[in-house]
């Protein structure tokens, strides 16, 4: 009997996919299709949990099939990340008129990412204090105890690694290993290799122009093919968002959300405040924040549902280039760097909120300046090398808590609401990288304001 209900549920999903496909054929905008998919996913996920129950075999079997669409889409995006980042950055560098532009570009992107992470840390601290969050208020069950033990074990493997050693991990020693995404900093490793390759081509161009020209033609040809692959994959975004959101809502532990409601509320207040700060920065740069939100929405929607900053790199780059008017090089660098450093949500807000909650259990006054100032600084430094996939926030929290001399195991108390909060954190991470790219292009004078203000110039102009 279970198989019958599973088949019915699969047919429902296919029917909704058919609806989204029909919207595409009628040339409904990409953003509207993504928004529709998100709304339908919420409704479908809630209905499935209400009908079958969160622990039912029917729901588990159904979501396994739905996962083919959701996780399959994320896998395709992860597949294209390395070739997209590598070819795009090499191409951007060889098209630079002066190599010093490269240093300025990277410097501004990194500076804005780290600067906004420090601001995010202050916002997180403020939210935790205003809502009077404390680890003592959270009850610990078996799942939380198991998670705490796992975190303690994970910390034991990281205990001897210093901050300089973590930064050293940015330098690749096997580019083919980094192409597999084996390390948390693999994307940065690919970026560094691409930087070196691009600079090398500039040197070859001065001494052996014929060989350089041949290489450039090859890169341009590969770039055209890669961008076509990106276009084909991004056309699947509404379907991926539908399945991802359905699975997320259907498996959400609402009892846990109610129990930890104050922490969830405090987290989202901090995330929203930081998002508003992002828009203020965009506005200060002379751009309309409402236009920015409209054109950034598809990337933010995917980040929210997938919980993967790294997976969002392709659509992040497209949104910056085609919608926000950011130049090619800056878009690629900000999206790549933003997936592994300066993550405002996972590496900024989340770790400091945990630190403020846990501090009283260790006999530390969370209002003391000799606690708060080092906390903000350590959070900013520790944001280097945080993996842009699920679990990155936990990694960042372990580093910050251990650096502050706080017990890392207590972070396991939040396991029941981790996924719900991680959705908002990831969206903020991706938005931070897009803001960094937009501001950097404005500062360097490479921003295309006409494209930004053109309502017909949107992130999906090559996807529809």
**Can you list the domains of the chain with their CATH numbers?**
2-453 (1.10.3860.10)
- Which among 433, 365, 458, 436 is positioned nearest to 404, based on CA atoms? 365
What is the structure's pLDDT at 413? 60
pLDDT digit of tens for each residue in the chain (464 aa)? 578 889 999 999 999 999 999 998 998 888 788 889 989 999 999 999 889 887 788 888 999 999 999 889 888 888 888 888 888 888 878 876 556 677 788 889 989 999 999 999 999 999 999 988 877 655 554 454 555 555 555 555 555 566 677 667 778 888 888 888 777 667 778 888 888 898 888 888 888 988 988 998 998 899 889 888 888 888 898 999 899 889 888 887 766 666 677 888 999 999 999 999 999 999 999 999 999 999 998 889 888 888 788 778 888 988 999 899 998 888 888 988 887 788 898 888 988 998 888 888 878 888 888 888 988 988 887 777 565 445 566 777 777 877 777 777 666 566 656 778 888 998 999 999 999 999 999 999 889 998 998 876 655 544 54
Q: What angle do CA 303, 304, 306 make, to 5 degrees?
A: 65
Q: Which two tokens stand for residue 58?
A: 């029917």
Residue 432 · residue 278 · CB < 8 Å? yes
- Which among 138, 106, 44 is positioned nearest to 413, based on CA atoms? 138
Q: Cα(337)–Cα(176) distance, rounded to whole angstroms? A: 19
Tell me the residue length of the chain: 464
**Model pTM?**
0.80
Residue 320 · residue 438 · CB < 8 Å? yes
Q: Cα(102)–Cα(87) distance, rounded to whole angstroms? A: 16
Q: Cα(294)–Cα(236) distance, rounded to whole angstroms? A: 20
Residue 309 · residue 426 · CB < 8 Å? yes
Q: Cα(379)–Cα(116) distance, rounded to whole angstroms? A: 11
Give buried/exposed letters for 2-39 (b at 16+ CB in 10 A, else e): eeebbeebeeebeebbebbeebbeeeebbbebbbbbbe
- Which DSSP letter does residue 171 get? S
Please state, as a whole number, how many other Cβ atoms lie within 10 Å of the Cβ of residue 160: 7
- Which DSSP letter does residue 344 get? I
Q: Cα(384)–Cα(240) distance, rounded to whole angstroms? A: 29
């Amino acid at each position: 009997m279970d198989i019958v209900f599973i088949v019915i549920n699969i047919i429902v999903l296919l029917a909704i996919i058919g609806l989204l496909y029909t919207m595409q054929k009628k040339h409904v905008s990409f953003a509207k299709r993504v928004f529709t998919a998100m709304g339908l996913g919420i409704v479908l996920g809630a209905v499935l949990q209400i009908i079958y129950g969160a622990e039912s075999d029917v729901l588990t079997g159904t979501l396994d099939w739905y996962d083919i669409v959701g996780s399959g889409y994320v896998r395709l995006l992860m597949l294209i990340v390395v070739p997209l980042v590598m070819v795009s950055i090499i191409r951007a560098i060889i098209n630079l008129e002066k190599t010093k532009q490269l240093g300025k570009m990277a410097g501004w992107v990194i500076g804005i990412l780290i600067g906004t992470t420090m601001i995010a840390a202050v916002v997180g601290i403020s939210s935790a204090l205003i809502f009077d969050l404390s680890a003592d208020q959270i009850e610990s069950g078996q799942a939380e105890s198991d998670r705490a033990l796992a975190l303690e074990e994970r910390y034991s493997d990281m205990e001897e690694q210093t901050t300089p050693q973590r930064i050293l991990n940015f330098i690749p020693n096997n580019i083919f290993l980094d192409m597999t995404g084996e390390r948390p900093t693999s994307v940065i490793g690919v970026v560094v290799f691409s930087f070196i390759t691009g600079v090398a081509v500039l040197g070859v161009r001065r001494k052996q122009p014929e060989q350089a020209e041949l290489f450039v033609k090859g890169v341009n040809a590969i770039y055209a093919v890669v961008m076509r692959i990106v276009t084909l994959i991004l056309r699947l975004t509404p379907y991926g968002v539908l399945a991802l959101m359905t699975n997320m809502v259907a498996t959400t532990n609402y009892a846990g959300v109610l129990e930890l409601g104050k922490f969830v509320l405090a987290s989202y207040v901090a995330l929203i405040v930081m998002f508003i700060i992002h828009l203020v920065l965009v506005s200060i740069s002379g751009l309309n924040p409402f236009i920015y939100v409209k054109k950034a929405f598809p990337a933010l929607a995917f980040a929210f549902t997938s919980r993967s900053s790294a997976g969002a790199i392709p659509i992040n780059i497209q949104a910056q280039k085609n919608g926000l008017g950011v130049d090619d090089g800056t878009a690629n660098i900000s999206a790549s760097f933003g997936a592994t450093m300066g993550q405002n949500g996972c590496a900024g807000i989340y770790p400091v909120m945990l630190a403020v909650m846990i501090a009283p259990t260790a006999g530390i006054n969370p209002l003391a300046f000799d606690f708060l100032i080092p906390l903000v600084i350590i959070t900013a430094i520790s944001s280097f090398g945080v993996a842009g996939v699920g679990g990155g926030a936990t990694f960042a929290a372990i580093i910050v808590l251990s650096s502050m001399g706080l017990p890392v195991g207590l972070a396991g108390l939040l396991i029941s609401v981790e996924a719900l909060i991680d959705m908002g954190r990831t969206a903020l991470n991706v938005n931070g990288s897009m803001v960094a790219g937009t501001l950097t292009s404005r500062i360097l004078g490479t921003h295309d304001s006409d494209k930004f203000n053109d309502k017909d110039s949107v992130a999906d102009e090559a996807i529809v």
